């Protein structure tokens, strides 16, 4: 390796680590294979978006019908997998359940060890159905809910929400859930996607790469932020408490500079002037509130958002409105991040396939900051 190294940047901030044709993120836009996210959210279902990411183009009506059929056909788990899930402690975090399920599914997939593109396209579609099924299965086990079979004519989001809650949702709730999956499906070289690509770059199989991605997404600084944001709203309680809650947190952070409490759902590495996905999802949540009568969550969120913008010039990210949207749909908070997996599996698989197609093992350098060179002393002199 050359002695000349690139400048170190903490968290690889601003470092271009590869090239992709899957998604493009700028400070003002997010595009999936050239399509702006707002356009996709308004004019496509999640299954159309999933087809776009996995197969590179939006489907026509016939292709969408076939794609939906293949994905729904995969909405079941081998008995060997459900036996393992049934044996897990009920205290197991749902993200750990999904991580384990995907790892085990690799043993039973007919193309588990096959890295050919045709095999990986099939695995991508099966994982899309299986992960939704596994999420619903865990919800049934935890809440003693009835099983709801996928509606062959319904969207992926509608069916996912039905499997998670044990009942068919309203048309609006189904649309909102499907829309959130569109918003979460892809986001360039984020931590979980980069993890998946790094694993794939070793020519490990797709299930291994996805298992690693789930592990990366579990962290509260990545996928877990939507759960933390909802706990935050619950701790505030009502809109009249927002100002005092914020002031008390600021006082705590001033008195405890080494033990600060974060305000969750705000800030983004790229979107310094606001995450446009957040505005879309906030409007959907507002529509839901007219059906659920829970507008107080939006009022509370709007008040805290204004304070953060006025005092810190920090905008919310998409996890912020996702929290109160999911809560209105009756989804248990620990299942918020697994929903992220149900969506982002499409982006992960697209990136994994892309990595295989033009592969070079990912192996960055590092700056050594340890003790200088020294000699080993005989054990008698140490």
What is the SS3 assignment for the chain? Answer: CCCCCCCCCHHHCCCCCCCCCCEEECCCCEEECCEEHHHHHHHCCHHHHHHHHHHCCCCCHHHHHHHHHHHHHCCCCCHHHHHHHHHCCCCCCHHHHHHHHHHHHHHHCCCCCCCCHHHHHHHHHHHHHHHHHHHHHHHHHHHCCCCCCCCCCCCHHHHHHHHHHCCCCCHHHHHHHHHHHHHHCCCCCCHHHHHHHHHHCCCCCHHHHHHHHHHHHCCCCCCCHHHHHHHHHHHHCCHHHHHHHHHHHHHHHHHCCCCCCCCCCECCCCCCCCCHHHHHHHHHHHHHHHHHCCHHHHHHHHHHHHHHHHHHCCCECCHHHHHHHHHHCCCCHHHHHHHHHHHHHHHHHHHHHHHHHCCCCCCCCCCCCCCCCCCCCCHHHC
**Closest Cα to residue 184, out of 312, 32, 329?**
32
Banded pLDDT at 1 (limits 50, 70, 90): very low
Domains 21-218+344-357 and 225-328 share a fold: no
Q: Percent of the chain scored above 70 by pLDDT?
A: 97
pTM of the model: 0.92
Catalytic residue (choose from 55, 222, 296, 299): 222
CA–CA gap between residue 301 and residue 176 (Å, rounded): 18
On the question of pLDDT at 270 being above 90, the answer is no
Residue-averaged pLDDT of the chain: 94
What pLDDT score does 29 carry?
Answer: 86
What pLDDT score does 262 carry?
Answer: 86
CA–CA gap between residue 258 and residue 253 (Å, rounded): 8
For the record, the structure tokens of 350 come out as: 């697209």
What pLDDT score does 7 carry?
Answer: 82
Quick: pLDDT tens for 14-40: 788 889 999 998 888 899 999 999 999
What pLDDT score does 376 carry?
Answer: 96
Catalytic residue (choose from 276, 319, 324, 351): 319
The CB-side HSE value for 15 (13 A sphere, CA atoms) comes to: 13
CA–CA gap between residue 225 and residue 132 (Å, rounded): 20
> Could you say which of 2.40.50.140, 1.10.3720.10, 1.10.580.10, 1.10.10.10 is the CATH number of the domain covering 21-218+344-357?
1.10.580.10
| 222 is known as an active-site residue | yes
Quick: pLDDT tens for 151-205: 999 999 999 999 999 999 999 999 999 999 999 999 999 999 999 999 999 999 9
What pLDDT score does 3 carry?
Answer: 56
Banded pLDDT at 272 (limits 50, 70, 90): low
Quick: pLDDT tens for 190-229: 999 999 999 999 999 999 999 999 999 998 878 888 898 9
CA–CA gap between residue 291 and residue 293 (Å, rounded): 6
On the question of pLDDT at 55 being above 70, the answer is yes
CA–CA gap between residue 40 and residue 38 (Å, rounded): 5
Give the homologous superfamily in CATH for domain 225-328.
Answer: Cytochrome P450-Terp, domain 2 (1.10.230.10)
Paired with 266 in beta bridges are 316
What mean pLDDT comes out for the span 335-362?
A: 97
Instruction: Give the residue extent of every domain in the chain.
Output: 21-218+344-357, 225-328
Catalytic residue (choose from 156, 207, 268, 315): 268
For the record, the structure tokens of 106 come out as: 């690799």
On the question of pLDDT at 10 being above 90, the answer is no
- 320 or 9, greater pLDDT: 320
What pLDDT score does 12 carry?
Answer: 80
Banded pLDDT at 11 (limits 50, 70, 90): confident
What pLDDT score does 223 carry?
Answer: 80
What pLDDT score does 224 carry?
Answer: 80
């Amino acid at each position: 390796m050359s002695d000349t190294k690139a400048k170190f940047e903490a968290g690889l901030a601003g470092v271009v680590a590869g090239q992709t044709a899957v998604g493009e993120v700028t400070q003002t836009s997010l595009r999936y294979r050239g399509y702006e996210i707002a356009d996709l959210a308004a004019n496509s279902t999640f299954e159309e978006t999933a087809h776009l990411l996995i197969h590179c183009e939006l489907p026509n009506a016939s292709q969408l019908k076939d794609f939906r059929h293949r994905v729904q056909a995969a909405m079941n788990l081998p008995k060997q997998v459900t036996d393992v899930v049934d044996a897990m402690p009920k205290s197991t975090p749902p993200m750990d359940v999904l991580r384990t399920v995907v790892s085990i599914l690799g043993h039973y997939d007919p193309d588990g060890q096959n890295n050919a593109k045709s095999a990986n396209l099939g695995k991508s579609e099966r994982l899309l159905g299986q992960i939704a099924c596994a999420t619903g299965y865990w919800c049934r086990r935890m809440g003693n809910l009835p099983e709801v079979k996928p509606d062959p004519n319904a969207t992926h989001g509608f069916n996912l929400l039905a499997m998670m809650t044990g009942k068919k949702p309203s048309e609006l709730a189904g649309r909102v859930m499907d829309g959130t999956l569109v918003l979460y499906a892809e986001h360039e070289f984020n931590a979980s996607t980069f993890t998946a690509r790094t694993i794939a770059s070793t020519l490990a199989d797709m299930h291994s790469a996805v298992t690693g991605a789930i592990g990366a997404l579990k962290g509260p600084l990545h996928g877990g932020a939507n759960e933390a944001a909802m706990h935050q709203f619950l701790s505030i309680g009502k809109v009249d408490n927002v100002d005092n809650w914020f002031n008390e947190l600021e006082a705590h952070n001033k008195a405890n500079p080494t033990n600060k409490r974060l305000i969750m759902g705000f800030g983004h590495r790229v979107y310094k002037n606001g995450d446009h996905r957040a505005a879309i999802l906030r409007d959907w949540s507002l529509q839901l509130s007219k059906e659920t009568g829970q507008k107080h969550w939006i009022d509370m969120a709007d008040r805290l958002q204004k304070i953060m913008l006025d005092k810190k010039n920090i905008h919310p990210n998409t996890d912020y409105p996702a929290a109160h949207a999911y809560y209105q749909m009756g989804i248990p908070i620990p299942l918020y991040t697994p929903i992220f997996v149900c969506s982002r599996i499409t982006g992960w698989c697209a990136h994994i396939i892309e990595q295989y197609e033009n592969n070079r093992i990912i192996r960055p350098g590092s700056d050594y900051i340890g003790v200088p060179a020294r000699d080993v002393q005989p054990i008698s002199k140490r």
